């Protein structure tokens, strides 16, 4: 004499495997998407990088087309960063110091366009190697470049009512066609990094 509960359909044992199947398919697609993004394609470039247009301190616009013809490095960060960004830019400068004649360009792109104007970015990179170019732009243009480079960046409110930026910290080595080569390793003596970098130049 059992009564059928009104929500019996939700407990139909036939639905569970189907739901599980849907979840499994989603997981497989997500994993596949990640794999495709990180795997070099047949042309040798992973799906990192792409078109962008941002401004330098003197008001010039730099686009991906301007960088073609020579490999370049890209790093995303912000001028209020307490440690990671200044440390990384100092490491990059240490590497560049060992390549005095090389015309390699390094882009330091803000993830905090609200506070980092292109003038502020230019001023900030003035403390580092002159081949490092500070770039900013409208929040939309910055977001577009972050998306192209698969950058993670989020505002993190601080106790004093201000905010910092949580952000991924990868130095992208891009080839002469603007294709992704690798996450450039700075976690070694600068001579070694310089040697590897010069092999691409
Ligand atoms: Cu930082």
Expressed as residue numbers, the domain containing 181 is: 53-199
Residues 62 and 34 in one domain: no
Residue 189 scores a pLDDT above 90: yes
- Give the pLDDT of residue 19: 62
3-state secondary structure 177-193: CCCEEEECCCCCCHHHH
Residue 22 scores a pLDDT above 80: no
Residues 125 and 192 in one domain: yes
Contact indicator for 74, 174 with CB cutoff of 8 Å: yes
- Give the pLDDT of residue 67: 95
Residue 145 belongs to some domain of the structure: yes
Residue 189 belongs to some domain of the structure: yes
For residue 92, the CA-to-ligand 1 centroid distance in Å is 14
Residue 2 belongs to some domain of the structure: no
For residue 9, the CA-to-ligand 1 centroid distance in Å is 51
Residues 13 and 76 in one domain: no
Strand order in the sheet with 105-110: 132-135, 105-110, 72-77, 171-174, 180-183
The residue assigned the tokens 């799906």 is 47
For residue 51, the CA-to-ligand 1 centroid distance in Å is 23
Residues 17 and 108 in one domain: no
For residue 103, the CA-to-ligand 1 centroid distance in Å is 25
Residues 17 and 114 in one domain: no
Residue 43 belongs to some domain of the structure: no
Residues 125 and 148 in one domain: yes
For residue 172, the CA-to-ligand 1 centroid distance in Å is 15
For residue 83, the CA-to-ligand 1 centroid distance in Å is 6
For residue 108, the CA-to-ligand 1 centroid distance in Å is 11
Residues 34 and 93 in one domain: no
Cβ neighbourhood burial of 10 (10 Å; 0-12, 13-18, 19+): exposed
Residue 47 belongs to some domain of the structure: no
For residue 111, the CA-to-ligand 1 centroid distance in Å is 9
Residue 48 belongs to some domain of the structure: no
Residues 120 and 164 in one domain: yes
Residue 128 belongs to some domain of the structure: yes
Task: Tell me, yes or no, if the pTM score tops 0.85.
Answer: no
User: For residues 50 and 120, what is the distance between their CA atoms, to the nearest angstrom?
Assistant: 25
For residue 20, the CA-to-ligand 1 centroid distance in Å is 40
Residues 94 and 27 in one domain: no
33-81 confidence digits (pLDDT tens): 555 455 554 454 558 999 999 999 999 999 999 999 999 999 999 999 9
Full DSSP string of 137-191 = --HHHHHHHHHHTT--EEEEE-TTS-EEEEE---EEEE-TTS-EEEE---SS-HH
- Size of the chain in residues: 201
**Average pLDDT, whole number, for the chain?**
87
Low-confidence winner among 30-34, 70-74, 121-125, 181-185 (lowest mean pLDDT): 30-34
Q: What is the largest CA-CA distance in the chain?
A: 90
- Give the pLDDT of residue 17: 65
Residues 16 and 71 in one domain: no
Residues 60 and 141 in one domain: yes
H/E stretch holding 77: strand 72-77
Residue 164 scores a pLDDT above 60: yes
């Amino acid at each position: 004499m059992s009564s059928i509960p009104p929500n019996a359909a939700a407990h139909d044992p036939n639905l569970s495997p189907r739901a599980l199947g849907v979840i499994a398919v989603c997981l497989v697609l997500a994993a596949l998407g990640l794999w495709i993004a990180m795997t070099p394609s047949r042309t040798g470039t992973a799906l990192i990088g792409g078109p962008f247009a941002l401004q330098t301190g003197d008001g010039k616009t730099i686009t991906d087309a301007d960088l073609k013809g020579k490999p370049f490095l890209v790093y995303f960060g912000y001028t209020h960063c307490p440690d990671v960004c200044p440390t990384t830019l100092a490491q990059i400068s240490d590497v560049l110091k060992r390549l005095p004649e090389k015309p390699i360009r390094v882009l330091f792109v803000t993830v905090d366009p609200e506070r980092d104007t292109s003038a502020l970015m230019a001023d900030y990179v003035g403390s580092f190697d002159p081949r490092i170019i500070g770039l900013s732009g409208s929040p939309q243009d910055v977001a577009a470049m972050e998306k192209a480079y698969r950058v993670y960046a989020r505002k993190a409110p601080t106790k004093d009512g201000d905010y910092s930026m949580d952000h991924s910290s990868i130095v992208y080595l891009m080839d002469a066609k603007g294709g992704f080569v690798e996450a450039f390793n700075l976690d070694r003596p600068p001579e070694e990094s310089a040697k590897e970098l010069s092999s691409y130049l």
